[in-house]
Structure 1
Amino acid sequence: MNLFIRISILGLLVLQGCASAPPVQNAATTKSYFDGAAYPGQIYNLSDDKTGAEQYRVFSQGSTGFVSIASVQSNAEGRAKDFCSREQKTIKVLQQQTSTPPHVLGNFPRVELVFICVDKSVLSEQKARISSDIKSSQGDVSATMDQGKQKCLDLGFKVGTESFGQCVLRVSK
């Protein structure tokens, strides 16, 4: 009997951390799980879809207020990744809606993602373009700083002093 009680308690504790998770659905034909909710949450637009690809919706909710929003988000992202990987693609999240604290009185942690499945090569090209843009902007900043240093030297500031550093920062803005 004592073993049965221990196993039952352990089972209840495990179930408390579970999340409710309806299937991934077509975003165009289903409404948001946040629609009409007493606690609507916060919407974050993360990206635009210029491909016209079919958009999907995935929702996850913690079973209690003691589940972290991060674990609920991880659950939703994992399900979206699994969905896209079946098509040999990867996810691109377009929008995220998240419940806002306090997570009490039925306002359990909830996350809904609207996403598309994209070819992995398309995502790699976008990452390479962003990386290139970052490198070129770093070059621009470096050139501006060099010009600022030269201007401060021309004004008579001495290299290595605090006033020289402040001058460079002001001139480089």
Structure 2
Amino acid sequence: MTTFKFLVPLFLLLTACSSMSPIEKESESESHFKDAVFEGKDFYISEAEILGERYRVFHQASTGFSGTSGIRRSATQRANSFCQKIDLNKMMLTVSEHTASPPYILGNFPRIEIIFVCVDRKNAQTSIASTDKYDRLTKIKYLLDKGVLTQQEFETEKKKILTEK
């Protein structure tokens, strides 16, 4: 019976949910990294001028054992769904991305905040230059070198970038 008392809290800790904020207009919300003990850093800032209403989406893992790629994928999917609810021909285009930095201890769990704009799909393809692919490869290599991404996460992200059309 005493073993059961210890297993239940451990199970609850390991199965806890990640947290995510509602998607809000950037002009009407504050960064979730503002005044945080672990401020994180900018992972990506678009060099292109992206016009349109900017929105903010935030995700945080429930433990330090999760990788950044999973919460990035979840945040990106939510942003795309949000844009498609506005118009089926829209998709999200990332303006900037801010992530937590390791070590993921003492409450510094993997976190990501993406600022995005909903754009027409046909316009988005012309907005994303082929040089963007190599820019993103350079950035994920930097994150690998800094320990933000594991080798496996790096390889997964690299494969995605290289197979995009």
Q: TM-score, normalised by structure 1?
A: 0.63
Residue 97 (str. 1) matches residue 84 (str. 2): no
Count of matched residue pairs: 125
Cα displacement string for residues 112-162 of structure 1 (whole angstroms, at most 9, x for unaligned residues): 0000000011012335x648xxxxxxxxxxxxxxxxxxxxxxxxxxxxxxx
**Greater C-alpha Rg:** 1
Aligned to 2:153: none
Aligned to 2:15: 15
Structure 2 gaps of 5+ residues are 132-165
Counterpart secondary structure, 2:115: strand
- The residue type paired with residue 12 of structure 2 is L
| Identity over aligned pairs, percent | 33
Structure 1 gaps of 5+ residues are 132-173
Aligned to 1:125: 126
Q: Which runs of 4+ in 1 moved over 6 A?
A: none
Aligned to 2:70: 71
- The residue type paired with residue 114 of structure 1 is I
Give the root-mean-square deviation of aligned CA atoms: 2.7
CA distance in 1, matches of 2:66, 2:96: 22
- The residue type paired with residue 28 of structure 2 is T
CA distance in 1, matches of 2:124, 2:45: 15
Aligned to 1:61: 60
Higher relative contact order (CA 8 A, sep 6+): 2
Structure-to-structure mapping, 1:80-119, within 5 angstroms: 80-87=79-86, 88=88, 89-119=90-120
Counterpart secondary structure, 1:103: coil
How far off is 1:67 after superposition? Answer: 1.5
CA distance in 2, matches of 1:107, 1:29: 26
* Alpha-carbon distance change, 27 to 120 in structure 1, aligned in 2, over 3 angstroms: same
Aligned to 1:37: 36
Counterpart secondary structure, 1:86: helix
CA distance in 2, matches of 1:48, 1:29: 23
Cα displacement string for residues 9-29 of structure 1 (whole angstroms, at most 9, x for unaligned residues): 9x737733x310111010011
Cα displacement string for residues 22-74 of structure 1 (whole angstroms, at most 9, x for unaligned residues): 11010011010000000000113431564531000000001111111111111
